[in-house]
Amino acid sequence: MMNKLFSDQTVLISGGIGDIGYATATEFAKLGANIALCDLLPEAEATGLVNGLTAYGVACSYQQLDVTDAKAVQAWVLGTEKRMGIASIIIANAATATQAGIHEITPEQWSRELSVNLDGAFYLTQCATARLVEMGLAGRVVFVGSWAGVKVHPHIPAYSVSKAGLTMLCKCLALELAPHNILVNEIAPGYVAAGLSGRVWKEHPGEKEKSIQKVPVRQVMTAEEVAVQIVYLCHPQNKHMTGATFLMDGGLSLL
Ligand SMILES: NC(=O)c1ccc[n+]([C@@H]2O[C@H](COP(=O)([O-])OP(=O)(O)OC[C@H]3O[C@@H](n4cnc5c(N)ncnc54)[C@H](O)[C@@H]3O)[C@@H](O)[C@H]2O)c1
């Protein structure tokens, strides 16, 4: 019989149509959670993905929005609460990565990347956790960071800086919310054979194998493996970890 660990809970996932976001939604749906996704894709084009989640017998909604629009994020959080109940699990996952070094990246690209990856995560978690505090409810927040926030990545500086910022946002929010029984953690994957890295590897054949050889455990991970770890951070038995960054990078950051 399927374990319905998260029955009657609602999970918000930004960038939920992306590879890691959707894999995370699927893991939560399998465990009985209702799912609210947002992403840039028009709603009509997300129908198949929404149906893929409702097949697990849960409610699922999708909203097209840009996470850099604080008002739109707030409207999504409050609208989801009306339709599906207050979200007790919040996954800040949306991100972009611009491959351009410090002297190549334009000020507009720099600002956009910081805005999507850091401001967007702030808008979502600020609004959604404020509602939990108002209602006196417990909750879980997971930021999807990256090992690029720990190790210098000169070819993607804005991404690297945004992910380092996310780590400190995680700690600030964790301390603020600890007395409210809202635990806040970050997962920082290394190379994932999907999403952002997956697309780079498709464009540059041979890069995937080179990346695998760089990883101390000589493996890259799947989006599903990242998703399982995100769910683990939200497990009810995890009652004491907060403000932590979980490096899931096969040892890359040790080099
Ligand atoms: N793939 C990797 O190797 C890897 C490694 C470490 C960390 N990560 C992190 O995992 C998370 C998910 O990335 P992914 O690899 O699944 O990539 P992805 O591109 O498949 O998913 C990211 C999603 O975010 C959405 N998004 C981008 N800008 C947005 C905006 N302004 N508003 C709303 N949605 C927006 C995209 O449309 C996309 O669907 C990101 O935070 C990324 O930094 C990925």
Q: How far is the C-alpha of 254 from the C-alpha of 118, rounded, in Å?
A: 25
Query: Average pLDDT, whole number, for the chain?
Result: 97
% of the chain exceeding 90 in pLDDT: 98
Ligand 1 atom nearest the C-alpha of 93 is: 41
Q: What average pLDDT does the segment 106-111 reach?
A: 98
pLDDT of residue 1: 45
Query: What are the pLDDT digits (tens) for 115-143?
Result: 999 999 999 999 999 999 999 999 999 99
16 lines ligand 1 (CB under 6 A): no
Question: What are the start-end ranges of the E strands in the chain?
Answer: 10-14, 34-39, 60-64, 87-92, 139-144, 182-189, 245-248
Q: What is the pTM (predicted TM-score) of this model?
A: 0.98
If one residue of 26, 27, 39 were mutated to test the ligand 1 pocket, choosing by the most ligand atoms within 8 A of its CB, it would be 39
18 lines ligand 1 (CB under 6 A): yes
For the chain, domains (ranges, CATH) are 10-248 (3.40.50.720)
189 lines ligand 1 (CB under 6 A): yes
**15 CA from centroid of ligand 1 (Å):** 6
Q: What average pLDDT does the segment 234-247 reach?
A: 96
250 lines ligand 1 (CB under 6 A): no
pLDDT of residue 205: 87
62 lines ligand 1 (CB under 6 A): no
Kindly indicate the confidence band of residue 2, based on its pLDDT and cuts at 50, 70 and 90: low
96 lines ligand 1 (CB under 6 A): yes
- Tell how far CA 60 is from the center of its chain: 17
Element containing residue 76 per DSSP (H, E):
helix 70-84
**92 CA from centroid of ligand 1 (Å):** 10
Q: Are 72 and 46 in contact (CB under 8 A)?
A: no
Q: How far is the C-alpha of 136 from the C-alpha of 148, rounded, in Å?
A: 35
- Compute the CA torsion angle 49, 51, 54, 56 (nearest 10 deg): -80
